[in-house]
Structure 1
Amino acid sequence: MPSIAAAALLHAMPPQDCAPNLLHNPGFEQGLQGWRGAGAGPDSVAHGGAASLRYHNPDDARYRTFSQTIAAQPGQTIAFGAWLKGRGLQGPPQDRGASVYIQSFDAQGRFLEGRYPAGIVGDSDWRPISARYRVPQRAARVTLGLYLRRGTTGTAWFDDVYACALPPQATLYPANGRTLIETPQPQWVTVSSVLLDRQRKVIDQTKRRRYIADRQWLTYTPPLLPPGEYRLRQQVTEAATGRRRSSEIALDIGQPTPAVTIDGQGFTRRHGERLFPLGIYSTRDGDDDLARIAAAGFNSVLNYRYGLGKDADGFFRRSRRHGLQVIYAIKDLYAGSRFAPATRGSYAALAATQINRLKNQPNLLAWYINDELGLEFLPQIAARHQQVQRLDRHHPTFQVLNKTAALDDYYNSTDILATDPYPVGSEPHLRRTLHDTLQTVRAARGVKGAWMVIQIMDHAAYDSRRQARAPTEDEVRAQAWLALIGGARGLLFYSYNDLFYQQQRGRFERAAFAAQWRGIARVARQIRSFSPYLLTGDGVTLQLDGPAAARIFVRGDSALLLAANPEARTVTLSLTLPDGWHHQTERTLAMSLPPFGAIHLPLQR
């Protein structure tokens, strides 16, 4: 089951079981040797051995970390942790305490991703803090650190720190009665399957031993059963090591096709017809705003602040009036999450109330169950996914991640995966959009939905210290083209409401907004016009020399060529079309693409 698998994923690893430990001087027996940072020192109060690291911070404006680089490789899973003891640790309610972290950087020294498990607060005896981290493919440097979070004061002791690379193991990825088994090397595995009814009674069970060289799809064939909703619980066990992974999915037998589903190529189907979700995030939901969104070419809207005490039915009615599908957010209903509403009951009960109340809305497209929550929330996310499957089999779950390295870990807890690179203003190029799309599509394995979030917001909306830098129309278009070239089956623009952020600062210019929106609308309408080609599932990504990317989308005897330049400089696009295809009689194309340039060309056989 995802919840069990996730719990195992997050289980603490004792330092003595971590071999080899990638850290130098993990117990501070040699003082601070091997560690970077100032303001802390060794102490005789220890969890193990004779020493620890002690850091006292009386100033909430002071922020220091103590770290070292570890020899981790891209793709590795790192188990890391430490023992912590605290006295008088106080700070901001949402982000305080002492903890351990791990983070990675690319070859240019730019931050990629990190993992920051919750730590200790107040007065605490020795406690273990642990987590796991998948190293991104683009990582060139990985560091582990100890710290008091920003704004935290008090005293903390750190000891028996560890970081070790976990050996890869066999994994299973189920989908509608078929299960993909992937192994890190050729080996024998045992795959067990248990079919449960709605009362969790065992109806059928099988066990099969297979030799798998790399990856193999297995099909589970249930016995003759009455129509109904069942659960398929599966486990893959390595013969050589005994290590195992588990999953659990809904399995419908003889049931009507869900109103909205993800088909065998990862496309969204609504009432049996393929739909390319072209949506936008917005907390503004008045008729004027929804009319503007619909007129721009969008077919879906995601309001991520709807919830308790709000007129959700009215939001659905207004959206429906403008022809918009709704991706409804229940992403905050998790204990310990930053935006979790106060409740005397359980978050599962709150979620059930909303699901049961809204599941019959005719323009409900999907349930938004996770917005960038880390692996520490995975057991709750997996449970929410299963809850939606039980209560509303007609609509898929959808979640957005900002860490592509962990995508595989979320596979069993969602129907649709997406990532949100937000490169504009953070990087001098748009390469991350294509990279993250390819990683998302790979993780979806052709059976989950793979969507992408396109940045239209200015990072200054979230950090007043940053200079205003909204994405240009060319940058928005290039992001979208790169996502489509990478294989995205849906796009969501983030976010409409952030286009108005200067209103709160008294610097909003209506004319500037109108110009920006016209550019966004031009991009959205172009994408919508591509739908007949995007929805066929027939196409090929072209192999090019240089940074530009291109893909052909085929529809019968015609095709659409998309090409995009992710660089802030002019590049030359040179390509030869596959046999039988041409553009205006030409099969070989050569042209210059300006900075962040994106083109679309019709092709014929």
Structure 2
Amino acid sequence: MTTITTTTNLCRKFECCLVITAFLLATRPPAAFGHENLISNPGFESPPGTNGLPSGGWWVSEGRGHLLVETDHAVSHTGAASVKLHAEKETKAVLASKRFSVSPGDHLLFEVWMRGGTGDSAGSKTYAGLAFRDRDAKVFARAYFLSPAPSQSWTRLTGYALAPAEATAAEVHLGYTNAGSTFWFDDVSVSITNPVSLSLLAEPKTWPGRQDLQVRVINRDSHEFQGNLDCALDGQPKRQPLLIGPKATRDMNIPVTVTGVGPHTFALHARGTIGTVAELREKFRTAPALDLYPACPSCLQAGPESGRCQIEARMNVNPVDRSGLKWCIEVLDASGNILHSLTNYVSAERLAGIVSIPTAHAGNFEVAAHLLDRTGAIIGTGKTEVRVIAEKLARVTFGPDGFLRLDGVPQLPIGLYSAGHFEEMARAGFSVTHSYSITTGDADDAINPTDRRLKELLDQSWAQGMRMMVELPRKAIEKAKWGQVRRRIETFKNHPGLLCWGSEERVARGAAPLANIEQLYKVVKECDPDHPLVLGDTRDVIQHLQDDRRNFFPDDCMDAGIWWWYPFPLKEPDGNGLEGGASGADELQPPVWLTTTLSKKPLWIAFQAYQKPSRDAVFPTPAQYRCQAYLSLIYGAKGLFFYTGSGQRDYLGKPAGLLNKPDEAHWDYVQKLVRELHDFSSLFLASQPAAGLEVLSGKGAIECMLRHTKDQQILLAANRSARAQTLTVRQPSFQVTQAKVLYEDRHLSLNGDTLTDKFAPFEVHLYQISIP
């Protein structure tokens, strides 16, 4: 028995990842003996469909290139046919089966027979396995099994996988990642080996007290199952007898009593004569009786007229206890005086009311809401605030030079993705925060459930003198649910902690059409013309933009663009184009989406501040951090972000962002670098590009930029090579004998109009040269 590790789609952003250990069982009996094969047309014996693909629901998903698929009647393992996969150019694709239903915790046994063609190299391995989909039909986890070296003999590839907690369906993927190779697959089999499956028919209710857990039990065996269904809620056990006929399904209600507000855990076990045959574990949260959302808007601009705010809440009470409920809203000033109040009967779960806020002067006002039972007793309460601010704090623009303007002052945004340690960030000189925690939420909700968390993050950012890049809800964008998007924008558009709105990779990942991003931009401009939309997305799916990235961004859908640059380790390829990888054997390759762009909009960059999952991956060194930052400025970036990941993990599966491993990731140095960038930005922004610089040595390895003011010139030079280099440049306007090397406490002698200096690998020098 040989052990192999299944790989999963370790995506850079917000996607769920799963690593499963599979076993290649060369001596085990045929797959799923005595169990149903869940695959339609598993031996490819049926006539092909009208599209030329195998019938039975088989389809192709192409990441790169074009996969040629045909039913081959000349080659087979058993029967009269197999499926043949081939490509003329480099191709990354899968042949996928029709989906089949699974339950969380199901044990799946996968098997397929495969062979290679004549002349295929030993490096032309492929893979096959399972992909799992959630309730939204999105693939969120994979269990892939790597093939042995190809041969012209049929080889059986088999392994086990466990359906993860969110899984509702699965499908087979037969993989292809080669050019010029040919593979045949035959006799695909997937079976569920556990005799009983358990799943929830509905999510647990969110209110404390009595409720029924709705459970579906499937007997997959051809014999009657008799035993017990044990339920343990927060460790408290309960048992019910369980009797299900052969190949039958039974839906059951399990009465439970949930105590308190907050997280809860329950475990279901189906037990028979041989012990536990199925297990299901779930976590859920109960909410307070009154769940108050941030006021809309949460901030008002000061002015002579009073402002009006929509106050909304969700009532979370068992329907049997809702008769006679009322809710009350009060607006209080800083001294606790009630300025406005209203009371209404509760007629639905969603509660709403309009309150008036005085806006003559800047200040904070508390909004208190109470839920009253039929006797007038308070059974739920919530508080939020409305802030009145100066108009200038709610406006962010771009200048003609492409840099941001805050109150008319040019700014170089310096940000941290997945931000934390806000006090340290502010002391270091960061100006922008970010969080992926506010990008989730059901698209059908009128108000995104993460808006409360977003208000906390905006308040914290502003309290530390920073602003936040706020991504708009992903699922709402994908499903064009613009009401939820509008609500978020209207709620926070005046918040002084807001820098810009954002959206990431909905088109690049194929999750939404470009038309949705076009509409998103219109919604942002309609609701909030005073803040830009900074788009981290492409005009087409990323697989179509692998070779030429000049026309990369959809300019008509954004005020500025942002993309990624994660070049370390230098030799590691960027397989899907989403990593922003651009590297060679011994030097940093420029991010071509920036250096060759046709975009007329300002472009920001997010460079690497995390550890990749390969075994030899490490965090950037201090020199590499500094090189990435200054190369980005030289290449024309108008904003700098340290990308710490969206859940990225190292090869051991541990979180691997900058703040997850602060010592290993050189967090202390990053803070020092950010302070340097912050201080340097005032000099940089006060200068203009200058022409006439001639590079005499170091050209190609050392990138340079010359800028000038009335009385000085600034030369930025960064060695993108992993080898030491010497730079010599000539500039007729160099008419002094020395240049000051900033942040190095040294001066460099000039030879007339020529400057020469040495550079260690990835070293950066910044020269300040006076104009006499």
Q: Which category of TM-score, normalised to the shorter sequence, fits these structures?
A: 0.5 to 0.7
More helix by share: 1
- Conserved in 2, the CA contact under 8 Å of 1:268 and 1:276? yes
Give the aligned partner of residue 434 of structure 2: 302
- 1:44 Cα offset (Å): 5.5
Indicate the SS of the match to 2:461: helix
- 1:48 Cα offset (Å): 6.5
For residues 603 and 465 of structure 2, the distance between their equivalents in structure 1, rounded to whole angstroms, comes to 23
Q: State yes or no: 1:524 paired with 2:660.
A: no
Q: State yes or no: 1:558 paired with 2:712.
A: yes
Q: Cα distance 1:144–1:358, how it changes in 2: closer, same or farther (>3 A)?
A: farther
Give the aligned partner of residue 132 of structure 2: 92
For residues 146 and 406 of structure 1, the distance between their equivalents in structure 2, rounded to whole angstroms, comes to 34
Q: Cα distance 1:298–1:97, how it changes in 2: closer, same or farther (>3 A)?
A: closer
Q: Cα distance 1:537–1:43, how it changes in 2: closer, same or farther (>3 A)?
A: farther
Q: Deviations over 1:525-551 (max 9, x none)?
A: 221122123324611475642321010
State how many pairs are aligned.
391
For residues 523 and 686 of structure 2, the distance between their equivalents in structure 1, rounded to whole angstroms, comes to 32
- Conserved in 2, the CA contact under 8 Å of 1:40 and 1:54? no
Matched AA of 2:459: R
Indicate the SS of the match to 1:69: coil
Q: TM-score scaled by structure 2?
A: 0.44
Give the aligned partner of residue 701 of structure 2: 547
- 1:561 Cα offset (Å): 1.2
For residues 559 and 183 of structure 2, the distance between their equivalents in structure 1, rounded to whole angstroms, comes to 37
For residues 256 and 600 of structure 1, the distance between their equivalents in structure 2, rounded to whole angstroms, comes to 35
For residues 538 and 275 of structure 1, the distance between their equivalents in structure 2, rounded to whole angstroms, comes to 15
Matched AA of 1:576: R
Pairing 1:193-212 to 2, within 5 Å after superposition: none
- 1:280 Cα offset (Å): 0.8
- Conserved in 2, the CA contact under 8 Å of 1:44 and 1:50? no
For residues 367 and 48 of structure 1, the distance between their equivalents in structure 2, rounded to whole angstroms, comes to 42
2:469 to 327, 331, 334: 327
- Conserved in 2, the CA contact under 8 Å of 1:429 and 1:567? yes
Give the aligned partner of residue 615 of structure 2: 466
Pairing 1:248-259 to 2, within 5 Å after superposition: 259=395
Q: Cα distance 1:92–1:336, how it changes in 2: closer, same or farther (>3 A)?
A: farther
Give the aligned partner of residue 568 of structure 1: 722
Give the aligned partner of residue 438 of structure 1: 595
Q: Cα distance 1:269–1:547, how it changes in 2: closer, same or farther (>3 A)?
A: same
Indicate the SS of the match to 1:265: coil
Indicate the SS of the match to 1:432: coil
Indicate the SS of the match to 2:565: coil
Unmatched 5+ stretches in structure 2 = 1-41, 55-68, 79-83, 101-129, 143-168, 172-176, 191-390, 440-448, 573-582, 740-748
Matched AA of 1:413: C
- Conserved in 2, the CA contact under 8 Å of 1:576 and 1:589? yes
Indicate the SS of the match to 1:564: strand
Q: Alpha carbon RMSD of aligned pairs, Å?
A: 4.6
Matched AA of 2:563: T
Pairing 1:167-178 to 2, within 5 Å after superposition: none
For residues 588 and 375 of structure 1, the distance between their equivalents in structure 2, rounded to whole angstroms, comes to 49
Q: Deviations over 1:32-79 (max 9, x none)?
A: xxxxxxx99999625368996149999xxxxx96422189xxxxxxxx
- Conserved in 1, the CA contact under 8 Å of 2:610 and 2:656? no
Give the aligned partner of residue 596 of structure 1: 762
- 1:499 Cα offset (Å): 10
For residues 473 and 398 of structure 1, the distance between their equivalents in structure 2, rounded to whole angstroms, comes to 28
Indicate the SS of the match to 1:395: coil
1:486 to 597, 610, 635: 635
Highest relative contact order (Cα 8 Å, sep 6+), 1 or 2? 1
Q: Cα distance 1:311–1:268, how it changes in 2: closer, same or farther (>3 A)?
A: same
For residues 547 and 489 of structure 1, the distance between their equivalents in structure 2, rounded to whole angstroms, comes to 23
- 1:146 Cα offset (Å): 11
Q: Cα distance 1:578–1:335, how it changes in 2: closer, same or farther (>3 A)?
A: same
- 1:483 Cα offset (Å): 0.6
- 1:600 Cα offset (Å): 0.9
Q: Cα distance 1:336–1:352, how it changes in 2: closer, same or farther (>3 A)?
A: closer
- Conserved in 1, the CA contact under 8 Å of 2:715 and 2:767? yes
- 1:305 Cα offset (Å): 1.8
Pairing 1:173-322 to 2, within 5 Å after superposition: 259-284=395-420, 289-307=421-439, 308-309=449-450, 310-322=452-464
Indicate the SS of the match to 1:459: coil
Matched AA of 1:471: P
- 1:266 Cα offset (Å): 1.3
Q: TM-score scaled by structure 1?
A: 0.55
Give the aligned partner of residue 608 of structure 2: 455
For residues 180 and 495 of structure 2, the distance between their equivalents in structure 1, rounded to whole angstroms, comes to 47
Give the aligned partner of residue 190 of structure 1: none
Matched AA of 1:449: P
- 1:423 Cα offset (Å): 0.4
Unmatched 5+ stretches in structure 1 = 1-38, 59-63, 72-79, 99-120, 124-140, 155-254, 338-345
Q: Deviations over 1:238-271 (max 9, x none)?
A: xxxxxxxxxxxxxxxxx99981112222111122
Matched AA of 1:95: V
Indicate the SS of the match to 1:92: strand
Indicate the SS of the match to 1:481: helix
Q: Cα distance 1:45–1:456, how it changes in 2: closer, same or farther (>3 A)?
A: same
Q: Percent identity?
A: 20
The structure that has the greater radius of gyration is: 2
Matched AA of 2:604: W
- 1:334 Cα offset (Å): 4.4
- Conserved in 2, the CA contact under 8 Å of 1:455 and 1:494? yes
Give the aligned partner of residue 420 of structure 1: 564
Pairing 1:20-169 to 2, within 5 Å after superposition: 45=48, 47=50, 53-54=70-71, 66-69=86-89, 87-88=98-99, 91-93=131-133, 94-95=138-139
Q: Cα distance 1:312–1:97, how it changes in 2: closer, same or farther (>3 A)?
A: closer
Q: Cα distance 1:498–1:514, how it changes in 2: closer, same or farther (>3 A)?
A: farther
- Conserved in 2, the CA contact under 8 Å of 1:567 and 1:595? yes
- Conserved in 1, the CA contact under 8 Å of 2:722 and 2:762? yes
For residues 399 and 311 of structure 1, the distance between their equivalents in structure 2, rounded to whole angstroms, comes to 22
- Conserved in 2, the CA contact under 8 Å of 1:283 and 1:303? yes
- Conserved in 2, the CA contact under 8 Å of 1:268 and 1:449? no
Q: Cα distance 1:593–1:435, how it changes in 2: closer, same or farther (>3 A)?
A: farther
- Conserved in 1, the CA contact under 8 Å of 2:550 and 2:598? no
Q: Cα distance 1:594–1:40, how it changes in 2: closer, same or farther (>3 A)?
A: farther
Indicate the SS of the match to 2:755: strand
Q: Cα distance 1:531–1:520, how it changes in 2: closer, same or farther (>3 A)?
A: same
For residues 431 and 348 of structure 1, the distance between their equivalents in structure 2, rounded to whole angstroms, comes to 41
1:370 to 504, 509, 528: 504
Q: Cα distance 1:57–1:526, how it changes in 2: closer, same or farther (>3 A)?
A: farther
Matched AA of 1:529: D
Give the aligned partner of residue 164 of structure 1: none
Q: State yes or no: 1:352 paired with 2:486.
A: yes
For residues 40 and 395 of structure 1, the distance between their equivalents in structure 2, rounded to whole angstroms, comes to 57
